[in-house]
Amino acid sequence: MVPLPVYLPKQPVAALDPAPQETTAPGECGRPNHPRWDDFWPNTKKFYEMHVRQDKHSFHPQLPTQNIWGYDGILPGPTFEARYGEPIMVRIYNDLPANSIGFGSPEISTHLHNLHVGSASDGFTGDYYSRTKFGPTMTEPGAYKDHHYVNCYAGYDGFHGTEGDPREALGTLWYHDHRIDFTGPNVYKGLTGFYLLFDEIDSGNENDPNPKALRLPSGVGKYDIPLVFQDKQFDLNGFLFFNQFEVDGILGDKFCVNGKIQPFFQVERRKYRFRLLDGGPSRFYEFYLSYNGVDQPFQYIANDGNLLPAPLTMSKVRLGVAERADIVIDFARYPKGAQLFIVNRLEQVNGRGPTGKILNPGTPILRFDVGDLPASPDNSRVPARLRELPPINLAEVVTTRRFEFDRSNGGWTVNGKLFDVLTATAKPKRNTAEIWVLKGSGGWSHPIHIHFEEGRILSRNGKPPAPHEAGRKDVYVLAPNDEVRVFLRFRDFEGKYIMHCHNLTHEDHAMMVRWDIVPP
């Protein structure tokens, strides 16, 4: 019944007042200093202002318009369009009501998942703030916090001429609240949005004459469409409901795309790029593209925001919470008036994770209505080669660490311990590499997210990763009793970061680890 919300990119402002600075500016919360200020601040030319506030939202015409929390008061939040080599400053005001009613906590810490950035702008879970409160890793409250998104590739120190290693580029990122103990309810209440990064390879211009440009379907909000999938519960009066005392996982019976329940999207008869994100809180998905009840092929080009070396022709996509997949669908193959559906067929009945059963026909989540041919020729393409992967050099590895994700006394643990926000469990040295072994246990599935650096799966249960997992990733899904070996490097920055289960309920209760990058 409802059209899919699609945003054009958020626009910058001319300046920020007071001017940003390396240390805290007047009125700002007590954050750590921005690292490497002299390296990135001189090239920072774009400034953005965003207000986290309570506002009205309609999930569906048959439900009441109701309060949500949103970046700029909308769900999802604004879409950012940024470029490598062009740092930006985003000032995020916390305008949430201090004495809020209902679930969630009105202090915020915004994590840009998974930008290669200094700790002060990463959105560490203890770095939360409001005008009256502040987290255990902050020094004072404040009305806002400045986030310096430097938009450099990983490997900046070794590849100065190209602002880092272009093989380390991300494309599809997203931002969300990360307030310790309340990430689940705050994100569920609306605090999520997209951040898209481009460079000369993935240039965002399907007519780009640069021979390096891939010329993928382009135009954010036109032919390049971010989609966040989130399931919700509503009470008998039609208002959003969250069980704060459910520690296994929250499953909803209404499926939202970009904040609307089962919307439709009018498409032209040409190629589109869709950026699929499982926005949680706890559900896994397996998506199929269905036309007249028959599964349709599409091009799978990126996993977790990272372009693969070559596209894969697929007919399904499985996503754990926080995983992303970029796909290209060519609607020129279908007649005007055709209707196609993105359908979820993966059964999940509780917070343990999917049962593995594939349902038929499943649940239609999003409908595509095929219209006319485009006014201009479709010059977009999906070339046979996408982005080269950097080599894995195991000679760099200085140690192997093991992390076991388990359950103890009703809480979620890593290596038998609950999260301690003030204590680093691991202290890798800058400019080294390590192997992290991630081990699941029992009958639970855990999508494990490691902040800051992309990793490479060396093996899953002793075997090479599947083709779609063979690229660079930041979320590693552990099915029950899985063991995944991940190659990680720690470059360019020092400071505090975290690893956690991205089932948001598990994260809040308290399956998370602090780790610090320390000087070599």
Question: What does each C-alpha distance from 507 to 38, 413, 501 come to in angstroms?
Answer: 35, 9, 5
Q: Which helix (H) or strand (E) holds 378?
A: none
Residue with tokens 């840009």: 112
* Assigned token pair, 127: 């770095």
Over 90: is that where the pLDDT of 498 sits?
yes
pLDDT value at position 408? 86
**What is the full DSSP assignment across 454-494?**
-EEEEEETTBPPPGGGSSEESEEEE-TT-EEEEEEEE-S--
What is the tens place of the pLDDT at every residue in 225-279? 999 999 999 999 999 999 988 999 999 999 999 999 999 999 999 999 999 999 9
Collapsed DSSP state (helix, strand, coil) of residue 321:
coil
Cα distances (angstroms) measured from residue 41 to each of 38, 231, 520: 6, 40, 25
At 32-44, the pLDDT tens digits run 999 999 999 999 9
Tens-digit pLDDT profile for residues 454-486: 999 999 999 999 999 999 999 999 999 999 999
What pLDDT is stored for residue 458 in this prediction?
Answer: 98
pLDDT greater than 90 at residue 381: yes
> At a CB cut-off of 8 Å and minimum separation 6, what does 463 contact?
none
What phi and psi, each to the nearest 5 degrees, are found at residue 168? -100, 15
Where does residue 155 fall: left (phi above 0), alpha (psi -120 to 50 degrees), or beta otherwise? left
Q: How confident is the model at residue 157 (pLDDT cuts 50, 70, 90)?
A: very high
Q: Alpha-carbon torsion 167, 173, 179, 184, what sign?
A: negative
Tell me the average pLDDT of the chain.
97
pLDDT for 517 beyond 90: yes
Q: Identify the helix (H) or strand (E) that includes residue 505.
A: helix 504-508
Tell me: pLDDT of 311 over 90.
Answer: yes
Q: Is 423 exposed, middle or buried (0-12, 13-18, 19+ CB in 10 A)?
A: exposed
Helices (H), 149-267: 183-188
Name the band, by pLDDT with cuts 50, 70 and 90, for residue 318: very high
Strand partners, 57: 66
Can you tell me the mean pLDDT for 318-340? 98
Question: pLDDT confidence of 385, banded at 50, 70, 90?
Answer: very high
pLDDT at residue 410, as a whole number: 80
What are residue 348's phi and psi, to 5 degrees? -145, 125
pLDDT at 419: 96
Tokens read off for 252: 């909803």
Averaged pLDDT, 358-362: 95
Q: How confident is the model at residue 493 (pLDDT cuts 50, 70, 90)?
A: very high
Q: What six digits make up the tokens of 120? A: 């002060």
**Average confidence (pLDDT) over 79-99:** 97
The Cα 144–Cα 266 span in angstroms is 38
Question: What pLDDT, on the 0 to 100 scale, is given for residue 245?
Answer: 87
Residue 244 has what pLDDT?
Answer: 87
**How far apart, in whole angstroms, are the C-alpha atoms of residue 189 and residue 187?**
5
Rounded Cα gap, residues 489 and 473, in angstroms: 12
Question: Which residues is 288 bridged to in the sheet?
Answer: 316, 343
The pLDDT tens digits of the residues spanning 187-202 come to: 999 999 999 999 999 9
pLDDT value at residue 432: 97
Antiparallel, parallel or unpaired: β 88-94 and 46-57: parallel
d(CA 16, CA 351): 43
Tens digit of each residue's pLDDT (9 = 90 or more) over 132-145: 999 999 999 999 99
Side-chain half-sphere exposure of 8, counting CA atoms within 13 A: 2
User: Where residue 224 falls among pLDDT bands split at 50, 70, 90?
Assistant: very high
